[in-house]
């Protein structure tokens, strides 16, 4: 669990460095080796690691808006994910998706760029599992800013009424871009929303990966045993802006400092030390994680960019004859 | 009111000027959307409004497009004049029922007894590698469904005049602004959208296309960002072909007369559209030109986004997003026929 968290943190920090390359001195979102938006998840690691520790490759996960830490915890191919973020041909999606839209069918991971819209497909995966009498489960991750969306609330209802093996994991970092949680909901504990759907709801405070692990274990166990869905909310902290380039003028300094101070990785390491883990083991985990991240970034940067003609491929799995030509506007 | 009067503004500043003016004039005008208050709109479309108006009139809302766009419909039907921002037009799907079954249809379905005087303001367009769910233009989707007026500014002057007209209009108006024209620091704009803008209020009437560049040989009809790409292409071709650039400015209503007049002069038509090729604006413009003056048409081409989702990687996006070179090629092609 710690290794997944440390890998994710180092990955986010390295991506930040790579992203800012070529965007200085004047920030231009389309310049540099990583173009487009980049939403980093530093500070969110406890939820992805604590939940995914219970999952198998055949369990389905739909990612949150800042998806990397969950993808890493679910076992998404780190090299190909990195190549995707760099827009390379060998990326998970051949450079067509980018960082918000990671698809790795080998471990049943996917992500959407539209807030809360990963919830209904997770319900669908759970439905398929139930219909086939399998014991795989589905987990939908989303931010606390997304829990006012209809797609989320409708998914809770559908999952509950059909007792589907799905877990909704809300990462509460208190901010939906510039909107503080208090201005968009009167409900302090988002897990309470489960009450309205007659399903269990649990909230884990303080970035506590161990507590997430325990709560998720119970929820995944319930789902696997055919006892239906659970809503799990995890307090995390956003250590960076909403997206790279976000100056966060709207955010009080005290809140940013609090996010730096309350850190799930520090907390887990302290817990491990308290239970007898030696410093050498922790250091070894850290160096292994760094090496893995560096390897992935180095590999990704060496990969070729896609041929422009690739833009016309994959619109359909089964394209009509000659369809690529009509897409282009030819005969 | 001349386009040359006033000081130079970015397109976002010009839009904000119009909104602030209308808010001062009437307490019925208010703005709601995601990140429009403290942040000032992700694309600066509401930048600075919170300095002058309070949070009751510059309302940050939960991420819940169905609820807040629908609430704008309800407030409009109750006699107010809301401006609701859909952050990216790509998010329309989350709330399409409120947009096309309520906002756009209630006037008709009520037999005209209800009106919906609201503005749905939304960002369109790619060119910055944000992939298929954050880069669409979707002019055609909104223009196709009846009941919404649809406007698309390409300059600060037009943006202010269209915004004044949109807020004052008794019908729902979809105001589609291209991100790359707004003048935001992190997404550099081309030459052109920053124009002189009069301090006082004025309207740009819907259904009046603007000939942004006069020419005798080939008519290029376009809108939004691609007005500037078309002008750039026309300047590059100036020694070779005399290109007229028609900026539609509004899709609903559509100024067929200006298109037909221009085509009757040049005989050659190129339509440039950042929206998908099939079943959209480009086909509509060509159909109108043909219906109203088929005998004048010597050659037609369209330069559009192909019928593919918009890819993330830079070489892929550049391949599909119609560039200045693509326009030059199309103009040469129709000019040779």
**Chain A residues 111-150 within an 8 A CB cutoff of chain B:** 112-117, 145-146, 148-150
| Peptide bond before residue A25 is cis, with ω within 30 degrees of 0 | yes
* DSSP type of residue B143: H
Q: Annotated active-site positions of B, please? A: 134
**Out of B61, B187, B312, whose CB is closest to A95?**
B312
> Of B176, B197, B218, at which residue does a domain stop?
B197
Q: Which residues pair with A205 in a beta bridge?
A: none
For the cut 70, the answer to whether the pLDDT of residue A331 exceeds it is: no
Domain membership flag for residue B205: no
Domain A1-21+42-250+264-302: assigned CATH number: 3.40.50.970
Mutate to test the interface with B, among A24, A27, A28, A29 (most CBs of B within 10 A): A29
Same domain, B172 and B215: no
Residue B337: predicted pLDDT: 82
Using a CB-CB cut-off of 8 Å, the residues of chain A touching B64 are 148-150
Same domain, B192 and B233: no
**Out of B94, B186, B317, whose CB is closest to A28?**
B186
Using a CB-CB cut-off of 8 Å, the residues of chain A touching B128 are 29-30, 35-36
Mean pLDDT of chain A: 94
Do residue B308 and residue A93 have CB atoms under 8 angstroms apart? no
Do residue A116 and residue B306 have CB atoms under 8 angstroms apart? no
Q: Would an 8 Å CB–CB cutoff place A326 in contact with chain B?
A: yes
Q: Would an 8 Å CB–CB cutoff place A35 in contact with chain B?
A: yes
Residue B1: predicted pLDDT: 57
CB B188 within 8 A of CB A29: no
Burial per residue of A291-327, b for 16 or more beta-carbon CB atoms within 10 angstroms, e otherwise: ebbeebbebbeebeebebebbbbeeeeeeeeeebebb
Domain membership flag for residue B2: no
Could you give the CA distance from residue A206 to residue A270 in angstroms, rounded to a whole number?
14
Using a CB-CB cut-off of 8 Å, the residues of chain B touching A155 are none
Do residue A27 and residue B186 have CB atoms under 8 angstroms apart? yes
For the cut 80, the answer to whether the pLDDT of residue A330 exceeds it is: no
Nearest-CA distance from B59 to chain A in Å? Answer: 10
Could you give the CA distance from residue A75 to residue A52 in angstroms, rounded to a whole number?
9
Could you give the CA distance from residue A292 to residue A297 in angstroms, rounded to a whole number?
9
The residues of chain B scoring below 70 in pLDDT are: 1-4
**Out of B63, B134, B306, whose CB is closest to A146?**
B63
Nearest-CA distance from B2 to chain A in Å? Answer: 33
Could you give the CA distance from residue B336 to residue B249 in angstroms, rounded to a whole number?
29
State which residues form the domain around B316: 210-335
pLDDT tier for residue A24 given thresholds of 50, 70 and 90:
confident
Do residue A178 and residue B315 have CB atoms under 8 angstroms apart? no
Residue B100: predicted pLDDT: 96
CB A123 within 8 A of CB A166: yes
Phi, psi of B88 (to 5 degrees): -125, 140
Q: What is the CATH number of the domain that holds B237?
A: 3.40.50.920
Same domain, B107 and B215: no
pLDDT digit string, tens, across residues B13-45: 999 999 999 999 999 999 999 999 999 999 999
Same domain, B179 and B227: no
Residue whose entry in the numeric block shows the structure tokens 């997003």: B321
Residue A180: which of A105, A86, A252, A269 has the closest Cα? A252
Residues in Cβ contact with B266 at an 8 Å cutoff, skipping those fewer than 6 apart: B215, B216, B217, B218, B219, B244
DSSP per-residue string spanning A20-50? HTTS-SS--TT-SSS-S-----TT-HHHHHH
Residue B216 is encoded by which pair of tokens? Answer: 């005798």
pLDDT digit string, tens, across residues A63-83: 999 999 999 999 999 999 999
Q: Would an 8 Å CB–CB cutoff place A110 in contact with chain B?
A: no
Same domain, B133 and B221: no
Could you give the CA distance from residue A42 to residue B35 in angstroms, rounded to a whole number?
22
Same domain, B117 and B242: no
Q: What is the CATH number of the domain that holds B40?
A: 3.40.50.970
Domain membership flag for residue B121: yes
What residue of B is the nearest CA neighbor of A330?
Answer: B306
Same domain, B187 and B101: yes
Residue A148 is encoded by which pair of tokens? Answer: 């006012």
Domain membership flag for residue B202: no
Could you give the CA distance from residue A109 to residue A94 in angstroms, rounded to a whole number?
16
Indicate the pairing of strand A179-180 with strand A175-176: antiparallel
Taking only Cα atoms into account, the Rg of chain A, rounded to an integer number of angstroms, comes to 20
**Domain count of the fold of chain B:** 2
Residue B2: predicted pLDDT: 62
pLDDT digit string, tens, across residues A247-281: 899 999 999 998 988 899 999 999 999 999 899 99
Same domain, B184 and B325: no
What residue of A is the nearest CA neighbor of B310?
Answer: A96
Residue A233: which of A188, A179, A278, A277 has the closest Cα? A188
Indicate the pairing of strand A109-110 with strand A60-62: parallel
**Chain A residues 82-101 within an 8 A CB cutoff of chain B:** 84, 87-88, 91, 93, 95-98, 100-101
The CB density around residue B202, as the number of other CB atoms within 10 Å, is 17
> Of B162, B197, B232, at which residue does a domain stop?
B197
Cα angle A142, B126, B92 (rounded to 5 degrees) comes to 50
> How many helices and strands (H and E) does chain B possess?
12, 14
3-class secondary structure, B270: strand
Residue A245: predicted pLDDT: 86
Strands (E), chain B: 7-9, 29-33, 58-60, 81-88, 119-124, 149-151, 173-178, 195-197, 210-213, 218-222, 243-247, 250-252, 268-276, 299-305
Same domain, B330 and B248: yes
For the cut 90, the answer to whether the pLDDT of residue A324 exceeds it is: no
Q: Which residues pair with A109 in a beta bridge?
A: A61, A104
Residue B117 is encoded by which pair of tokens? Answer: 């005087």
**Out of B42, B185, B316, whose CB is closest to A308?**
B316
> Of B168, B197, B226, at which residue does a domain stop?
B197
Could you give the CA distance from residue A28 to residue A30 in angstroms, rounded to a whole number?
6
Same domain, B88 and B187: yes
Mutate to test the interface with A, among B311, B318, B323, B325 (most CBs of A within 10 A): B311
Using a CB-CB cut-off of 8 Å, the residues of chain B touching A183 are 60
């Amino acid at each position: 669990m710690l290794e997944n968290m440390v890998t994710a943190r180092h990955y986010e920090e390295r991506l930040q460095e790579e992203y800012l390359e070529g965007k200085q001195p004047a920030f231009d979102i389309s310049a540099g080796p990583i173009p487009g938006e980049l939403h980093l998840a530093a500070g969110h690691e406890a939820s992805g690691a604590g939940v995914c520790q219970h999952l198998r490759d055949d369990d389905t996960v739909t990612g949150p808006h800042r998806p990397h830490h969950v993808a890493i915890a679910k076992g998404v191919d780190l090299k190909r994910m990195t190549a995707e973020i760099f827009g390379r041909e060998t990326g998970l999606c051949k450079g067509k998706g980018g960082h918000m839209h990671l698809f790795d069918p080998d471990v049943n991971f996917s992500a959407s760029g539209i807030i809360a819209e990963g919830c209904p497909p997770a319900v669908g995966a759970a439905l398929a599992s139930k219909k086939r009498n399998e014991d795989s489960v589905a987990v939908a991750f989303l931010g606390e800013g997304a829990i006012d969306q209809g797609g989320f609330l409708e998914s809770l209802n559908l999952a509950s009424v059909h007792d589907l093996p799905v877990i909704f994991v809300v990462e509460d970092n208190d901010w939906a871009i510039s909107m503080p949680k208090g201005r968009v909901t009167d409900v302090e504990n988002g897990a309470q929303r489960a009450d309205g759907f007659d399903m269990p709801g649990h909230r884990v405070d303080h970035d506590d990966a161990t507590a997430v692990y325990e709560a998720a274990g119970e929820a995944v166990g319930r789902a696997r045993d055919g006892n239906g869905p659970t809503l799990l909310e995890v307090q995390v902290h956003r250590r960076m802006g909403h997206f790279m380039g976000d100056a966060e003028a709207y955010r009080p300094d005290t809140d940013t400092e609090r996010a730096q101070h309350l850190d799930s990785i520090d907390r887990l390491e302290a817990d491990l030390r308290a239970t007898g883990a030696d410093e050498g083991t922790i250091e070894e985990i850290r160096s292994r994680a760094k090496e893995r991240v560096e390897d992935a970034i180095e590999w990704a940067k060496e990969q070729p960019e896609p041929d422009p003609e690739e833009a016309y491929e994959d619109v359909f799995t089964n394209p009509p004859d000659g369809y690529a030509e009509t897409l282009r506007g030819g005969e | 009111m001349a386009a040359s009067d006033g000081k130079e503004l970015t397109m976002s500043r010009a839009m904000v000027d119009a909104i602030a003016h209308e808010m001062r004039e009437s307490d019925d005008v208010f703005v709601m959307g995601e990140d429009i208050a403290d942040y000032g709109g992700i694309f600066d479309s509401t930048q600075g409004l919170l300095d002058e108006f309070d949070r009751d009139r510059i309302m940050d809302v939960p991420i819940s497009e169905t609820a807040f766009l629908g609430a704008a419909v309800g407030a409009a039907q109750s006699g107010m004049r809301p401006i609701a921002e859909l952050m990216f037009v790509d998010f329309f799907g989350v709330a399409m029922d409120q947009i096309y079954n309520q906002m756009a249809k209630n006037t008709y379905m009520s037999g005209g007894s209800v009106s919906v005087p609201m503005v749905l303001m939304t960002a369109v367009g790619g060119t910055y590698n944000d992939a298929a769910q954050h880069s669409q233009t979707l002019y055609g989707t909104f223009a196709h469904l009846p009941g919404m007026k649809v406007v698309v500014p390409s300059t600060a002057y037009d943006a202010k005049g269209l915004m004044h007209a949109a807020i004052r209009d008794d019908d729902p108006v979809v105001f589609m602004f291209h991100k790359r024209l707004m003048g935001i620091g992190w997404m550099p704009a081309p030459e052109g959208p920053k124009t002189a803008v009069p301090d006082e209020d004025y309207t740009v009437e819907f259904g009046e296309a603007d000939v942004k560049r006069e020419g005798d040989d080939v008519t290029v009809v376009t809108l939004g960002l691609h007005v500037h790409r078309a002008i750039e292409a026309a300047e590059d071709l100036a020694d070779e072909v005399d290109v007229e650039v028609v900026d539609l400015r509004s899709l609903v209503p559509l100024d067929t007369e200006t298109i037909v007049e221009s085509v009757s002069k040049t005989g050659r038509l190129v339509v440039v559209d950042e929206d998908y090729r099939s079943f959209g604006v480009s086909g509509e413009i060509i159909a109108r030109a043909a219906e109203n003056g088929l005998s004048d048409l010597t050659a037609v081409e369209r330069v559009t986004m192909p019928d593919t989702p918009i890819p993330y990687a830079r070489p892929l996006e550049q391949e599909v997003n119609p560039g200045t070179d693509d326009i030059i090629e199309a103009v040469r092609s129709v000019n040779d026929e």
